[in-house]
Structure 1
Amino acid sequence: MKNLPEVKLGIVAVSRDCFPMSLSVSRRKAVVKEFTEKYGEIFECPTCVENEIHMRTALKEVKEAGCNALVVYLGNFGPESAETLLAKEFGGPVMFVAAAEETGDNLVGGRGDAYCGMLNASYNLKLRNIKAYIPEYPVGTASECADMIGEFLPIARAIIGLNNLKIISFGPRPQDFLACNAPIQQLYNLGVEIEENSELDLFEAFNKHAGDARIPEVVKSMEEELGKGNLKPEILPKLAQYELTLLDWTEAHKGSREYVAIAGKCWPAFQTQFGFVPCYVNSRLTAMGIPVSCEVDIYGALSEFIGTVISKDAVTLLDINNTVPADMYEADIKGKFNYTHKDTFMGFHCGNTAAGKLSFCAMKYQMIMARSLPEEVTQGTLEGDIIPGDITFYRLQSTADAKLRGYIAQGEVLPVATRSFGAIGVFAIPEMGRFYRHVLVEGNYPHHGAVAFGHFGKSIYEVFKYLGVAVEEIGFNQPKGMLYKTENPFA
């Protein structure tokens, strides 16, 4: 995949002046050894920070090494000002982690008290309004700290990506899609740039790509991907022309930013003017690492990008769409899977899910649009049942009054035939019924949710926190016995 940041990680040990610096240095070396063996490269900063002068030296060393993410390691108690100023001046994602004591045989000269130091570090970070990732239990052995740093990698990748992201949108949202409203203030607060364009600009660029010499090559790629599912071969040249239009646009318009995501238009006039629907092309770009949301869903595109950089895999954007019929639940789910009927639902979109995430796929026409338009202008969807397996359903959203909130729920796609159309799957999320009512409905979320293929809730949750989403504004599918604030305890 392209369009993904690479994390160049550095580690700086810190030491309180009344503790032996050698303790922090030796513990840092042990962490680096463990991390390198398990996860790969990390730059070991040679300067151990004891004061602000050391801090500037260490900062220079990690910058010259090309580090874009940093681990501040409390090998002992640590200097509160210097270590937090290091995080502030570094400018990229930072985590704090601390050393556990190694042995009961060395608790005099070899005791570091980093368990205590982490408290003061967290307090000083808050005083200075500095964002940093602190693991669930941030004090550990060298091996445990290496694992915690490994968990930091996808979080750092997401923060780096968002700080260098431009979302490119085309056209206003369709009428009656106010649910996908997108106040842009929070995008700027997150460090994300937004470029809003008219679909007329896109149409002009598309027409200029007519006869592009690269079209046959893209058509061949599409044919190979579709295989027997290539049921609309006559539309592939137009789709290839559109794909090239989007790819060229992103390169020409990313400006100072390194990464892009697209919030695309797909109706109501798109089909009649372009002569097709863009679903399949959207799926292909998303598989390349350039998420494309439907219906000009700007925060949907933002959410997809977060999932892409965390999972390093294709994601999709689906409607939280329809219930599973009772007879279907009784025949295909009950007794075979440990879910109630209300735990299940169908996630659907017209055809924007990457071919590699479908159990089978076929190029078809958009059935819903074809109810009111000629079928020939609605071709371009990629239909099929979504592959079974673990998923994370999530979304980051700005409210109408520009407050940032999000939700995360882990579950799975069941190996159950959908018997329906579009890119669709039978989803199961524990306690989905309550989550639907007290997070999605109560929180006024739109019908679009991003789907990552795997359980990535832990990383996404930490990214949301790092971005400044208040923990009370991060909804999740709470287990039985854990009431939502709006849930009737007598129901």
Structure 2
Amino acid sequence: MAEVHRLFVLGRPTFDVDHARACSPAAISLLRDSGVQFTGDGDMLFDNAQVAAAIEASAGDAADGVIVIQSTFTDAEAICMIAERFGGPLRIWALPEPRTGGRLRLNAFCGLNLAAHALGLRNREFVPLYAAPERPGTAERVKAWLKASPLPAPVTREPRETASQAGEAALRALRGMRIGRIGEHPAGFDTCAYSDEGLDALARVRVETIGLDRLFDAARAVPEDEVGQVRADLADVAGIADVDQAELDRSLRLRGALDRLKAEGRYDAFAIRCWPETFTEYGGAVCGPVAMMGEKRTPCACEADVHGAISAYMLQAIAGEPAFLADIVDIDADDDTAVLWHCGQAPRSMARRAEPVAATIHSNRKMPLLFQFALKPGRVTLARISQAGGRLTMAVATGEMLDAPPSFGGTSGVLRLDVPAAAFLENMLGATLEHHVALAYGDHRDALEHVARELRLPVLDLTP
């Protein structure tokens, strides 16, 4: 007898809904071909009210498990609503998209990443799949996935004994670090939560809260000549004159506002609620200013991610140069690479030299200023002081950034990791790692081992 599963298709209207609607039916068709029957109509659910209604409509039906198709990025609230209501096997299929160099149309892997972390915090097992329905071999992968067990969590280990001057520099930077948290992290972003007590115990890190209104008021008060100087510093950025100039002005003012807040509060880093209010209430993107602040060694973490800010600051101190807090948005087992990306906020010193750094707009909100470029080739280290599974660890990975054109709009790089991409995917999702990782050029394993030992953090090695 065929198994019956509750089916939920998750999406967000700020992404490419037409493309998602073209991809999801192909996934559902493969599931049916594999013998699965469904409750639910397979319509895309765009908000929590629609998810709640679908849950109630399905609640009275007998089912063997739950299948969620992650058709675009979503936060983790919807998947947690589903997981809390229904027991039994929970399977999540996220849909990849081609690396076209244009807009990140779906960003579904990042949604899977957030879901994995949230489920890990709740001790809820799940079985992930990341596969394009149209690719050869996906039908066989789907059949295997339907029978698969949850991924095992990678085993953490004690840090190695190392002596590292760079690690000591990072420890000095972390101890007593001051972070300005501007706004609160978005709902469904458990990846960005933090504990004041935990940060104090870690390294006496202090977080001070700042209202978004204070940032916006400070931006509006930045003198015209200062805005002009920031713009003059961008003279080599291609296309700067082609974006909406009023929105550009508002964006550049955010750079001046962050400078002022930093001086007033003596902050080492910021964790900023970057959307939606910077667009919907203020009218300009903070992404470009974040890149400029990172270049000046003041990391700014998106989505008010305090641990992301700490991780970038730590890695910056180790490397002696800027760090980039990025999402992992694609992992391709066939060509053995991953893509690290963020809207447009990598420091410009990380740019590949084959093409100029260009000005662009936010892919969803359509406002400047963001930077557009591919990351330069070279050895890189990824790191995060992670709270995956509710336990602090030092997550580490290493690899080689390839000399490749942009995969998606904004700032992105194609990475060949030191383990096969398929193994990294399993390690990352099995560990339920957060969606932001800090990146710096160079191999900094010894320094990170040193920091982990001094802070008494087990090491989560994603590329052992």
The answer to whether residue 349 in structure 2 is matched with residue 361 in structure 1 is: no
Cα distance in 2 for partners of 1:451, 1:221 equals 24
Aligned to 1:408: 396
Runs (5+) with no aligned partner, structure 1: 1-132, 137-147, 330-340, 479-491
Aligned to 2:409: 421
Aligned to 2:430: 442
Amino acid aligned to 1:176: G
Higher relative contact order (CA 8 A, sep 6+): 2
Amino acid aligned to 1:201: R
Aligned to 1:105: none
Between the aligned residues of both structures, percent identity stands at 20
8 Å contact from structure 2 (residues 248, 284) kept in 1: no
Aligned to 1:205: 218
Aligned to 1:302: 310
Aligned to 2:168: 156
8 Å contact from structure 1 (residues 157, 309) kept in 2: yes
8 Å contact from structure 2 (residues 389, 431) kept in 1: no
SS at match of 1:323: strand
Amino acid aligned to 2:423: R
SS at match of 2:431: coil
Q: After superposition, where does 1:371-390 map in structure 2 within 5 Å?
A: 375=366, 378-390=367-379
Cα distance in 1 for partners of 2:299, 2:340 equals 18
Cα distance in 1 for partners of 2:407, 2:387 equals 35
Amino acid aligned to 2:357: C
Residue 238 of structure 1: CA displacement? 2.3
The answer to whether residue 184 in structure 2 is matched with residue 172 in structure 1 is: yes
The answer to whether residue 461 in structure 2 is matched with residue 475 in structure 1 is: yes
Aligned to 1:260: 268
Aligned to 1:185: 197
SS at match of 1:392: strand
SS at match of 2:268: strand
Cα distance in 1 for partners of 2:241, 2:376 equals 19
Residue 236 of structure 1: CA displacement? 3.9
Q: Tell me how many residue pairs correspond in the alignment.
A: 300
Cα distance in 1 for partners of 2:184, 2:160 equals 39
Residue 212 of structure 1: CA displacement? 4.5
8 Å contact from structure 1 (residues 250, 260) kept in 2: yes
User: Considering only CA atoms, is the larger Rg found in Structure 1 or Structure 2?
Assistant: 1
Residue 228 of structure 1: CA displacement? 5.6
8 Å contact from structure 2 (residues 377, 401) kept in 1: yes
8 Å contact from structure 1 (residues 293, 301) kept in 2: yes
Residue 246 of structure 1: CA displacement? 0.5
Q: After superposition, where does 1:70-149 map in structure 2 within 5 Å?
A: 135-136=161-162
SS at match of 1:428: strand
Cα distance in 1 for partners of 2:460, 2:332 equals 27
Cα distance in 2 for partners of 1:231, 1:178 equals 37
8 Å contact from structure 1 (residues 229, 361) kept in 2: no
Cα distance in 1 for partners of 2:362, 2:196 equals 31
Aligned to 1:273: 281
Residue 233 of structure 1: CA displacement? 6.9
The two structures have a TM-score, normalised by structure 2, of: 0.61
Amino acid aligned to 1:379: P
8 Å contact from structure 1 (residues 261, 291) kept in 2: yes
Q: 1:286 aligns with which of 291, 294, 307?
A: 294
Cα distance in 1 for partners of 2:384, 2:407 equals 27
Residue 248 of structure 1: CA displacement? 0.7
Residue 323 of structure 1: CA displacement? 2.8
Q: After superposition, where does 1:304-383 map in structure 2 within 5 Å?
A: 304-324=312-332, 326=334, 329=335, 341=336, 344-359=337-352, 360-367=356-363, 369-370=364-365, 375=366, 378-383=367-372
SS at match of 1:245: helix
SS at match of 1:217: helix
Residue 464 of structure 1: CA displacement? 1.7
The two structures have a TM-score, normalised by structure 1, of: 0.58
Q: What RMSD in Å do the two structures reach over aligned CA positions?
A: 2.2
Amino acid aligned to 1:299: H
The answer to whether residue 231 in structure 2 is matched with residue 232 in structure 1 is: no
Aligned to 1:217: 229
- Structure 1 residues 193 and 284, CA gap change in structure 2 (3 angstroms): same
Residue 393 of structure 1: CA displacement? 1.1
Residue 325 of structure 1: CA displacement? 8.3
Cα distance in 2 for partners of 1:446, 1:269 equals 23
Runs (5+) with no aligned partner, structure 2: 1-158
Deviations 1:138-192 (A, max 9, x none): xxxxxxxxxx5xxx32112111111131011111111232222222322111111
SS at match of 1:437: helix
Residue 278 of structure 1: CA displacement? 0.8
- Structure 1 residues 134 and 320, CA gap change in structure 2 (3 angstroms): closer
SS at match of 2:298: coil
8 Å contact from structure 2 (residues 301, 308) kept in 1: yes
- Structure 1 residues 313 and 276, CA gap change in structure 2 (3 angstroms): same
Amino acid aligned to 2:462: F
